[in-house]
A and B are shown apart, each in its own frame.
Chain A
Amino acid sequence: MSLDVDGLTVVIGGRTVVDGVSFSVGDGDRFGIVGSSGSGKSVTALAIMGLLPDGAVVSGSIRYDGRELTRLGERERAGTRGRSIGMVFQEPRTALNPIRTVGRQIAEPLRIHEGLTRADAWSRARELAARVALPEPDLLLRRYPHQLSGGQRQRVCIAMALAARPRILIADEPTTALDVTVQAEILSLFQRLTRESGTSLVFITHDLAVLRTVAEHAMVLDDGRMVEEATVERLLTEPAAPASVALLAAARATAWKRSFDGGAR
């Protein structure tokens, strides 16, 4: 499996939001996209999924297993979503349908992509719920989104994204809206899932410490352009591009090191 993005450019409303971005993700890779707000991280992800607003102009190439996605019609593109590439968004509150039970929402991609019967889809949903470590799946799947905590909702979203067994999972700031203890659990969930199933991960974040936890390789975006691509270790020790340096400096300024006897200056 490989996802190859080459010279991806996205223009929305006359503004070039993504400018010539190129990267590759292979089997089992854990790839990060970092940058500050407005750097084009989310738009890149949406472009790969084909979920950009109607007025967006996309040029460049996005190839999944050799197949050029940008030339597909909407129907075929929809077929890739969930099946080849899954996506988890930042805000679990708005990503879930409030008037449907959580179990039905996990089962839905299964019924669509694999044509499973209701019973089969439900038992797969239960398996998935267990895989994402949701407590008491039988009870929980019958609940509605508002009855779950933020962390549980995000786990549901991850289960939904994994339901049709995509080879790649894209996560757009999935833990930014969560408490730090919940974030730690979700991050380790991502690590476990990708390790166990060999699914590749494309993880978008503005937080370098979070990046370090989940990704091995990453690229830095600044104002839509890719300014650096390196191992995460490298980015955290010897960043080259000015934007990377600035990100690291900002991260250090607001970071706290455990068991470091820091104090107020």
Chain B
Amino acid sequence: MAHRAPRAMSARRTPWLRTLLRSPNGLFGVVVAAIVLLAAALSLVWTPYDPVAVDVPGAWRPPGAEHPLGTDNVGRDMLSVLLVGARVTVVVAIGSAIVAAIVGVLLATLGALTARWVREPVAVLIDILVAFPTLLIAMMLAAAFGASLLVVFIAVGIGFGVNMARVTRPEIRRVAQSDFVLAGRAAGLGPLRNITRHVLPNIAPIVIVQLSWAAAVAVLAEAGLSYLGYGAPSTTLSWGRMLADLQGYIGVHPLTVLWPGLAITITVLGLNLLGDGLRDATDPRLARGDSVTRAALTREPVQL
């Protein structure tokens, strides 16, 4: 039935951004992402010490005035290495997100909007590909092309992309069946134009949310794959590599392992929570109309 126009709604373009920043999840996620990005950017122009400078006599220094996080097994300043490692984190996160977005949206569109003889096999294909663990894909790629960061973000991109396709496909179908898409056809829009004008903007929120989760998975995957030797080559400084190099010393110098581990954990947590926050902030039901609905949908627990 018709709603009365909500009284105090303004014409803001991004009410979701405000909602995001107001939620604890969203705020934490945004802050973490910002810190990692800034660290990576900063490392391009300045680090406290030269991260590759080896100083063996100065190895294993505990955190102190000169080295806030101490030094590693060959005397490198942990903080500097961490900052430089952030670059890899950022590249992997963004790279994977891009690959995942392309693979995911493309597959989902093929599986949702094409003729039945294309659609149904693609849907089956998606389900088959979902069964492949990302790690397996990475190992296969590394075996064929050698271990590198590219392997990491293509593997994660594909792995996450197909998962994303699975979730996005029904959403695309739902939007494509809306009356406003039909109205677009009636207004003379061709199918491609209709998709770019109506379908893509309406699935953007769900895609963006999943991309933040993809980035989280990517960071974790990079750590794991580098640790196993399929990711960053030993010459590249990444948090995963740091873990791999220092894990043997965990019994003697646990703090050195703690720093990259903590960095990875907080970043992954932050990206995950960012995804959760984005999902809540872009829930269309919260943007809609009346206070009765909103009161019922927000913090109030559901009464049984």
A residues adjacent to B (C-beta < 8 A): 12-15, 17, 37-38, 43, 53-56, 173, 176, 206
Contacts and interface: CB of A to CB of B under 8 A. Distances in A.
B43 to A, nearest CB: 47
B2 interface: yes
B291 A13 contact: yes
B286 to A, nearest CB: 12
A38 B77 CA distance: 65
A53 B3 CA distance: 18
B295 A37 contact: no
Interface in B1-48: 1-4
A12 B295 contact: yes
A254 to B, nearest CB: 14
27 contacts: A12-B291, A12-B292, A12-B295, A13-B291, A13-B292, A13-B294, A13-B295, A14-B291, A37-B1, A37-B3, A37-B4, A38-B3, A38-B4, A43-B292, A53-B292, A53-B295, A53-B296, A53-B300, A53-B303, A54-B300, A54-B303, A55-B295, A55-B296, A55-B300, A56-B295, A173-B1, A206-B1
Nearest to A176: B1
A103 B9 CA distance: 46
A176 B300 CA distance: 30
Chain B binding surface SS class: loop
A67 B291 CA distance: 31
A148 B272 CA distance: 44
Contacts of B301: 54
B189 to A, nearest CB: 32
Contacts of B4: 37-38
Given A13-B291, A15-B292, A43-B292, 13 more contacts: A12-B292, A13-B292, A14-B291, A37-B1, A38-B4, A53-B292, A53-B300, A54-B300, A54-B303, A55-B300, A56-B295, A176-B1, A206-B1
A173 B303 CA distance: 23
A181 B304 CA distance: 36
